[in-house]
């Protein structure tokens, strides 16, 4: 997949491509349906290839930062996931006021037609574009009829949540499921576990003193799942790009929450206890990058009567995680 990350580079993008435009945060199964429809449209119309246009950051982060949604997939991870769909081209638009303030007609004429000249645009029914999100798919169809591109609208994908209800697969729903701690349902909609990435910093040493050393993580700007203890897997790397790529995974137990047993007013902590990792073999984790794949929620956070009682519970958490992960 060829990636273009500046407006100046767009002159190199082949014309007459099948194009889909969206934020694609999460690169979830609904996005996969749209990209597959883009591939089929390209084959049907003899387009020169398939392309996706995404935005970094989210347009609301530029226009109304207080309303910007939390991030599911930082750009390095989004690139890798979109590449895995088989797209030929990814266009990353660095949002600015001048582009976001174009009317729908100006966006099509001064941006799409002057720079890309697509053969077909493929979007979901809720697609909006132009100043104030004033353009929709019908606007796009009307403009396409006179500018020479076709518009294909793809119906949303429905997934079943952990309560047996059928719901539309969307980035906003996935964000809410994560905030609620429903990481299994989020994974079903994503088509893979939710991945949270960050760097390891020195912690308080309490986990090591209890017999369960933890990596203390400072995450990048992403959605944090609800406070609780989770079973998951960890990937270790030396950069954000390393842990955005696919790699070897280690079974782990994650803790998202405050140290209620030891401190009453402690900031939120993100910790990972790796179940099969030996620092003597793999090297120390300080200042390295970790990717945390959330598989299932084990329990909520709670205060324990003593360090000994906490250590016993952590032991049970580790055993439960091994069962969930199939490493017993």
Same domain? 144 vs 183: no
Q: Please tell me the predicted confidence (pLDDT) of residue 213.
A: 85
Regions in the chain scoring below 50 on pLDDT? none
Same domain? 225 vs 312: yes
Q: Please tell me the predicted confidence (pLDDT) of residue 99.
A: 83
Same domain? 16 vs 92: yes
Tens-place pLDDT, residues 295-326: 999 999 988 878 888 889 999 999 999 999 99
- Backbone φ and ψ of 140, nearest 5°: -65, -45
Q: How many domains does the chain have?
A: 3
Same domain? 56 vs 171: no
Q: Provide the domain limits for residue 260.
A: 193-325
Tens-place pLDDT, residues 171-203: 999 999 999 999 999 999 999 999 999 999 876
Is the pTM here over 0.75, yes or no? yes
Same domain? 115 vs 61: yes
Same domain? 293 vs 307: yes
Same domain? 175 vs 197: no
Q: Please tell me the predicted confidence (pLDDT) of residue 175.
A: 98
Q: What is the 3 state secondary structure string of the chain?
A: CEEECCHHHHHHCCCCCEEEECCCCCCCHHHHHHHHHHHHHHHHHCCCCEEEEEECCCHHHHHCHHHCCCCCCCHHHHHHHHHCCCCCEEEEECCCHHHHCCCHHHHHHHHHHHHHCCCEEEECCCCCECHHHCECHHHHHHHHHHHCCEEEECCCCEEECCCCCEEECCHHHHHHHHHCCCHHHHHHHHCCCEEEEEEEECCCCHHHHCCCCCEEEEECCCCCCCCEEEEEEEEEECCHHHHHCCCCCEEEEEEEECCCCCCCCCCCEEEEEECCCCHHHHCCCCCCEEEEEEEEEEECCCCCCCHHHHHHHHHHHHHHHHHHHCCC
Tens-place pLDDT, residues 244-263: 999 999 999 999 997 655 55
Q: Please tell me the predicted confidence (pLDDT) of residue 211.
A: 60
Same domain? 186 vs 243: no
- Whether 267 contacts 258, CB under 8 Å: yes
The CATH number for 197's domain is: 2.40.30.30
CB-facing half-sphere around the CA of 74: CA atoms within 13 A: 17
The CATH number for 10's domain is: 3.40.50.620
Q: Please tell me the predicted confidence (pLDDT) of residue 218.
A: 95
Same domain? 33 vs 148: yes
Q: Please tell me the predicted confidence (pLDDT) of residue 8.
A: 83
Same domain? 142 vs 19: yes
Same domain? 209 vs 267: yes
Same domain? 184 vs 224: no
- Backbone φ and ψ of 43, nearest 5°: -65, -45
């Amino acid at each position: 997949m060829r990636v273009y990350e500046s407006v100046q580079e767009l002159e190199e993008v082949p014309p007459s491509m099948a194009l889909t435009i969206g934020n694609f945060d999460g690169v979830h199964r609904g996005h996969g349906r749209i990209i597959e429809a883009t591939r089929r449209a390209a084959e049907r119309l003899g387009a020169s290839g398939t392309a996706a246009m995404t935005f970094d950051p989210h347009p609301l982060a530029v226009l109304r930062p207080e309303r910007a949604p939390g991030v599911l997939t930082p750009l390095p991870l989004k690139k890798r996931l979109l590449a895995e769909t088989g797209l030929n081209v990814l266009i990353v638009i660095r949002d600015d006021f001048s582009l976001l303030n174009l009317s729908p007609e100006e966006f099509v004429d001064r941006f799409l037609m002057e720079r890309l000249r697509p053969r077909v645009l493929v979007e979901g029914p809720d697609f909006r574009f132009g100043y104030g999100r004033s353009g929709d798919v019908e606007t796009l169809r009307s403009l396409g009829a006179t500018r020479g591109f076709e518009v294909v609208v793809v119906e949303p994908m429905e997934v079943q949540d952990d309560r047996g209800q059928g719901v539309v697969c969307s980035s906003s729903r996935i964000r809410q499921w994560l905030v609620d701690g429903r990481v299994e349902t989020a994974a079903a909609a994503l088509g893979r576990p939710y991945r949270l990435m960050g760097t390891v910093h020195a912690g308080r040493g309490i986990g090591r003193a209890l017999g369960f050393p933890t990596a203390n993580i400072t995450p990048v700007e992403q959605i944090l799942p609800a406070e609780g203890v989770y079973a998951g897997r960890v990937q270790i790397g030396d950069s954000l790009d390393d842990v955005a790529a696919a790699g070897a995974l280690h079974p782990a137990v994650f803790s998202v929450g405050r140290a209620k047993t030891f401190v009453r007013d402690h900031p939120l902590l993100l910790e990972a206890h790796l179940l099969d990792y030996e620092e003597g073999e793999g090297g120390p984790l300080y200042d390295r990058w970790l990717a945390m794949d959330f598989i299932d929620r084990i329990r909520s956070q709670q205060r324990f009567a003593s360090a000994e009682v906490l250590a016993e519970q952590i032991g049970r958490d580790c055993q439960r995680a091994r069962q969930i992960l199939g490493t017993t």
